[in-house]
Structure 1
Amino acid sequence: MSATCLPTQRRTGKANRPNYSVKHHRHGLHVLALTDERGRLIWISAARPGHTHDITAARRDHLLAHLRPAGLGSLADLGFLGLDDDPDNPVVVTGFKATRARKLTPGQKDANRALAAGRVPVERGFAHLKNWRILTELRTDPARATHLFRALLVLTNVEATTDN
């Protein structure tokens, strides 16, 4: 599982900054996605304004409520740290975060490296989605953009299967 802020054009009008992401310093739409182990996108969430945090979007989409009963798990980045509240049976596996006061142990660093290696296909799936240049010209609200993202999900999977 991963999340990204897909860049879009600035919307004009009365409320001209609803999709602005301060973190990325650009206008965009926030999207969650699940991929399989080969990096093919299998699910895209509804588009949200660019300023939406990863955990907020995952909770609004009830992601854990869908993954846990299905027996599925997910490798996630540090943006999802604290999402899964069940340490005995984690569904969302995140890395370890260092602070100024607490440095990572060598074992935690090795675990982060292994997680990063397992997340490579996830990032490749997002790269296929971001290759659609039509997204940079998008000037619409998140509700309408969701239909476009889901259509691009289908086209990306068709394109990925023809490449292999």
Structure 2
Amino acid sequence: MAASTSRSPCRRRPPPWGRVGAGGTTRWNNSHKPAGTNRSTSFVVTPSASRKITPNEMTSKQVMTVAANKAFVILDGTLLHIDRIAADRPYYSGKHKRHGMNVQVIADAFGRLLWVSPALPGAVHDIKAARTHGIIEALTQAGIRTWADRGYQGARGTIRVPYQGRWSTLPAGKRAVNSSHAKIRAVGEQANATLKSWRLLRKLRCSTVRITDIVKAVLVLRLATAA
């Protein structure tokens, strides 16, 4: 008996919000595109307006403008896990003891995601990654107070980090400062959790050259739905 050529009723249809295709690009169903996005260009959506921007402009202009209206922002680095073997040393993070890609995250005082950097190999330290993307310089020039962890020691400018030293050896005043600092930074973990709530980013099995595009697509979707 010849096989039927009719389309199976059980075949899955593409979701209305689109899907991530080859190269990490997002293919939209035209009738359900989120506001502020199109096929080829990312948009940052803010309560006031949206405009076309590039990833580089996103750091120095759009995000700095948004962040300047906040009481302060929180800068943190997170590792997106990837499937690599032990020989891929550039992607191995000594801090997390596994392979991954380093992305820098900026959150507001309520832990809401504002911006995510392009991805770098996991072996890159947070402060080096922040300097590579020009984040520290941009935040300092804009005069934006920023809380960060010990991974950003030496950043200076408007970047505030906890005092170095063991808890038992620190004076009471510095202990109080570090305790308050930790409580503020803990809110920023919500932005990392928001980013990793996307199953696609929990463990990436694609080429590492595609990860930045995937992260940017997720950021656009998140900002569009939060607006």
Q: TM-score range by the shorter chain?
A: 0.7 to 0.9
Give 1:132 shift: 1.4
Conserved in 2, the CA contact under 8 Å of 1:5 and 1:29?
A: yes
Deviations 1:72-128 (A, max 9, x none): 1210001101111xxxxx41000012159x811111110011111111221111111
Map 1:1-164; keep pairs closer than 5 Å: 1-10=75-84, 16-84=88-156, 90-99=157-166, 103-158=169-224, 161=226
- 1:87: which partner in 2? none
CA shift in 2, pair 1:104/1:141, >3 Å: farther
Conserved in 1, the CA contact under 8 Å of 2:196 and 2:202?
A: no
Conserved in 2, the CA contact under 8 Å of 1:46 and 1:143?
A: no
- Name which one, 1 or 2, has greater alpha-carbon Rg: 2
> What is the distance in 1 between the residues matched to 2:115 and 2:208?
17
Which 5+ residue runs of structure 1 have no aligned equivalent?
A: 85-89
SS in structure 2 at match of 1:5:
strand
Deviations 1:45-85 (A, max 9, x none): 1100011101110111122221122221210001101111x
> What is the distance in 2 between the residues matched to 1:119 and 1:76?
7
Which 5+ residue runs of structure 2 have no aligned equivalent?
A: 1-74
Higher relative contact order (CA 8 A, sep 6+): 1
- How many residues are matched? 153
TM-score with structure 2 length normalisation? 0.61
CA shift in 2, pair 1:16/1:118, >3 Å: closer
Percent identity between the two aligned chains: 37
Deviations 1:2-43 (A, max 9, x none): 00112122269xx74431223212111101111111111111
RMSD value over aligned CA atoms? 2.3
> What is the distance in 1 between the residues matched to 2:171 and 2:96?
30
TM-score with structure 1 length normalisation? 0.82
- Opposite residue 121 of structure 2, the aligned amino acid is P
